[in-house]
Structure 1
């Protein structure tokens, strides 16, 4: 799960350095849900990129 940090804080279980506002972190789904429940003011769920990143096929210009 990807989370976006909204406020500066330090969590040694996630990263040795201080987490900065706007930083995106990747954690397990279990830890992510726990962090969101305990610190709702400090984290928000990041939007996931689609799994299929392939661009749609171009239309055939010869048909028309």
Structure 2
């Protein structure tokens, strides 16, 4: 399974939780909001991690969309 990552910039508050949990996948941009470094994730461990990050995001700004 492969999933595509999204950050909903309008609701992101830049807490940095995503970057702290997965610095290879997320960073904070110049505006202080999360940005994705790699949009497609297929490794099962990374998929689980990203799902955890999405579940923990205080503003629910991180989303995953399955692409089969």
TM-score normalised to structure 2 length: 0.39
State the structure with more CA Rg: 1
**Which has the bigger relative contact order, CA under 8 A and spacing at least 6?**
2
TM-score normalised to structure 1 length: 0.41
Higher strand share: 2
Higher helix share: 2
